[in-house]
C-alpha cells in the first residue's frame, strides 16, 4: 500500500467556477517560455528551480471560460478522438491524460519549473503559502496533480488519494479560492510542453480531470474542518540524544491528537516556517497524550537538523494530521513480520505495543536492521519488549548495504527464516530498503495485499 490512506469523506461545495480554462497557444520551442495566452509571462529564463520570489513583469489576463465540476463516474469528460484507425481505448479521456504524461516525462523538470513560474507570476500572493526555498517542495504539488490524473479511471483510488491530500493541504493554508490559479498554471505548463498531443479534446480532458481533482480535495478539507484543526501546536517536553545524530523528541499537543500505531504525521519547526517533513509516531497512543518521534539529522536536512540540534524542552512545533495505512488489522489472526531499518524501527515499536495492548496472542517477528552496530540505537528497548512478550522475537541485522542504506541484510535475513505464509508484513525505513524488502517478501510468497508500508515519496521527503 504505497499511498497513505485516510477514510474517504464527502462534503459540501459547488464545483462551478473552481477552474477557469486558459485558451491554448501554439508553442514555440525556440522562444522564451510563454504563457498559454497571447501575452508573454516572463523574459527571464526558467531554471530547474522555481523562483523563490516572483518576477516583476505585468501579466495581462486574456478572457477565460469556466468549466463546471462533473460527477466522477466513467472516464471524466467527453470522449476524445484519437488518431485515425485507433481503437476505442485510445479515445478515452484517461488515454489522453496518459499520453500527455508520457510526452512530458522526459522534460518533467522543465515542466515543473514553468508551472511554478506561471503560478507565482500570475498569483504572487500564493508565494507565501510555500517555503522560502523550493528545492524539495517544488516537485510535490505538480507531481501530486499528475499522480491524481493517472488514476482518473479509478474512482476509488483517486478519491482515497485526494482525500488524504485535501486534508493535508489544510496545514499549508490552502483555501478553495486557490484552486483555480493552480489549474490555470497546470494547463499552461501542459499546453507548452505537451504540444504533440495537445488540442481541444486533450485540454477538455485535463480541465475535466482537474475539476474533479479539486472538488474532491475541497470537499475533503471542508469535511475535515468540521472535526479537527488544520494543525496542532505541540510543546517539546523531552529531548534525548541516542547517538550523535539521532534524537528521540517527545511533545505534548495543545489538544487531543487521535492517531493509530504505525501512522505518521508532518512536522514544522519554528526555525523553518512552511517547511514540513514526515515522521512516524514512535509509540502506540499513550494515556498521557504525549507523542514521540525518532529523528536522524541528515546533511542539509533543515527540519531534521533543527529537531536534533536546536530543539529543546519548551520549544513549540506544529503537527499536521495523522496519515498512513501501515496499521494492524486486529480482526486477523495472522502473524506480523516487521522489518525496521534505522529510525524506521520507531513505527515498528509502536505496532508491537499496539498488539500487546489488544491482548491477542499473535506471533510478531521483528528484524531490526542498521548499517553498523551504533545504528541499532533502540535495540535495548526492543529486547525489553521481547522479555515481556513471549510471542515477540527480535533479530538485529547489520549490513553495509549499497549506498550506505540498510537495504541488503534485512531481505537476506527474512529469506533465511520463515516460513512467512501466515504473516502480514510491515516495512519501515529508507526507500531503498523498502523496495528491496518488498521484492524479498514477494519472493518468499507473501502476496502484495498483505505487505504494508507507507508512500515512498513521503518517506523520501522525511530525509530532509
Residues 287-315 have pLDDT tens digits of 999 999 999 999 989 999 999 999 999 99
Dihedral angle, C-alpha 21, 25, 27, 31, nearest 10 °? -110
Q: Between these two residues, 8 and 335, which has the higher pLDDT value?
A: 335
Query: Does residue 429 surpass a pLDDT of 60?
Result: yes
Query: 124 and 54 in contact (C-beta within 8 Å)?
Result: yes
What's the half-sphere exposure (Cβ side, CA atoms, 13 Å) at 200? Answer: 2
Q: What is the pLDDT of residue 137?
A: 60
Q: What is the pLDDT of residue 133?
A: 66
91 burial class (0-12, 13-18, 19+ CB within 10 angstroms)? middle
Least confident of 26-35, 66-75, 240-249: 66-75
Q: What is the pLDDT of residue 54?
A: 32
Percent of the chain at pLDDT exceeding 70: 75
Close Cβ partners of 387 (under 8 Å, ≥ 6 residues apart):
none
Q: Is residue 85 left, alpha or beta, with left meaning phi > 0 and alpha meaning psi from -120 to 50?
A: left
Tell me the pLDDT of the chain averaged across its residues. 78
pLDDT class of 217 with cuts at 50, 70, 90: very high
Query: Does residue 52 surpass a pLDDT of 60?
Result: no
Least confident of 37-41, 267-271, 359-363, 373-377: 37-41
Query: Does residue 178 surpass a pLDDT of 70?
Result: yes
Close Cβ partners of 174 (under 8 Å, ≥ 6 residues apart):
129, 221
Residues 193-209 have pLDDT tens digits of 999 999 999 999 999 99
Query: Does residue 384 surpass a pLDDT of 70?
Result: yes
> Across residues 95-121, what is the average pLDDT?
91
pTM: 0.70
Q: What is the pLDDT of residue 363?
A: 94
Of the chain, the end-to-end C-alpha distance in Å amounts to 23
> Which residues in 92-114 are b (16+ Cβ under 10 Å) and which e?
bbbbbbbbbbebbeeeeebbbbb
Residues 109-141 have pLDDT tens digits of 899 999 999 999 999 999 888 877 666 666 677
Q: Between these two residues, 6 and 389, which has the higher pLDDT value?
A: 389
Amino acid at each position: 500500500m504505497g499511498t497513505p490512506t485516510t477514510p474517504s469523506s464527502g462534503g459540501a461545495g459547488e464545483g462551478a467556477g473552481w477552474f477557469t480554462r486558459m485558451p491554448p497557444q501554439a508553442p514555440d520551442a525556440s522562444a522564451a517560455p510563454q504563457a498559454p495566452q497571447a501575452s508573454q509571462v516572463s523574459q527571464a529564463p526558467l531554471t530547474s528551480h522555481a523562483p523563490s520570489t516572483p518576477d516583476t513583469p505585468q501579466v495581462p489576463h486574456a478572457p477565460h471560460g469556466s468549466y463546471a465540476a462533473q460527477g466522477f463516474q466513467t472516464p471524466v469528460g467527453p470522449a476524445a478522438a484519437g488518431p485515425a484507425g485507433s481503437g476505442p481505448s485510445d479515445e478515452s479521456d484517461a488515454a489522453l491524460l496518459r499520453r500527455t504524461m508520457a510526452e512530458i516525462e522526459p522534460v518533467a523538470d522543465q515542466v515543473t519549473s514553468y508551472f511554478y513560474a506561471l503560478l507565482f507570476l500570475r498569483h504572487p500572493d500564493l508565494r507565501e503559502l510555500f517555503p522560502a526555498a523550493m528545492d524539495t517542495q517544488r516537485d510535490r504539488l505538480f507531481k501530486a496533480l499528475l499522480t491524481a490524473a493517472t488514476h482518473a479511471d479509478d474512482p476509488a483510488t483517486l478519491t482515497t488519494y485526494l482525500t488524504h491530500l485535501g486534508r493535508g493541504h489544510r496545514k499549508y493554508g490552502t483555501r478553495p479560492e486557490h484552486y483555480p490559479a493552480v489549474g490555470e498554471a497546470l494547463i499552461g505548463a501542459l499546453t507548452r510542453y505537451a504540444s504533440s498531443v495537445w488540442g481541444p479534446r486533450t485540454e477538455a480532458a485535463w480541465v475535466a480531470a482537474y475539476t474533479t481533482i479539486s472538488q474532491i480535495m475541497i470537499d475533503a478539507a471542508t469535511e475535515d474542518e468540521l472535526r479537527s484543526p488544520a494543525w496542532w501546536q505541540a510543546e517539546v517536553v523531552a529531548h534525548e540524544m541516542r547517538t550523535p545524530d539521532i534524537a528521540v523528541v517527545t511533545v505534548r499537543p495543545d489538544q487531543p491528537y487521535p492517531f493509530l500505531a504505525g501512522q505518521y504525521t508532518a512536522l514544522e519547526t519554528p526555525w523553518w516556517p512552511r517547511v514540513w517533513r514526515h515522521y512516524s509516531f514512535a509509540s502506540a497512543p499513550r494515556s498521557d497524550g504525549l507523542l514521540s518521534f525518532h529523528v536522524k539529522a541528515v546533511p542539509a536536512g533543515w527540519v531534521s537538523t533543527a529537531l536534533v540540534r536546536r530543539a529543546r524542552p519548551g520549544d513549540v512545533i506544529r503537527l499536521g494530521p495523522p496519515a498512513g495505512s501501515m496499521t494492524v488489522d486486529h480482526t486477523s489472526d495472522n502473524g506480523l513480520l516487521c522489518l525496521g531499518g534505522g529510525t524506521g524501527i520507531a513505527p515498528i515499536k509502536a505496532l508491537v505495543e499496539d498488539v500487546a495492548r489488544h491482548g491477542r496472542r499473535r506471533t510478531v517477528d521483528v528484524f531490526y536492521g542498521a548499517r553498523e552496530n551504533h545504528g541499532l540505537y533502540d535495540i535495548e528497548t526492543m529486547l525489553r519488549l521481547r522479555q515481556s512478550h513471549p510471542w515477540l522475537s527480535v533479530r538485529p541485522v547489520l549490513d553495509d548495504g549499497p549506498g550506505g542504506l540498510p537495504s541488503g541484510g534485512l531481505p537476506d535475513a527474512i529469506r533465511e527464516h520463515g516460513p512467512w505464509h501466515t504473516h502480514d508484513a510491515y516495512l519501515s525505513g529508507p526507500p531503498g530498503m523498502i523496495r528491496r524488502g518488498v521484492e524479498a517478501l514477494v519472493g518468499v510468497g507473501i502476496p502484495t495485499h498483505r505487505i504494508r508500508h507507507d508512500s515512498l515519496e513521503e518517506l523520501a521527503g522525511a530525509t530532509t
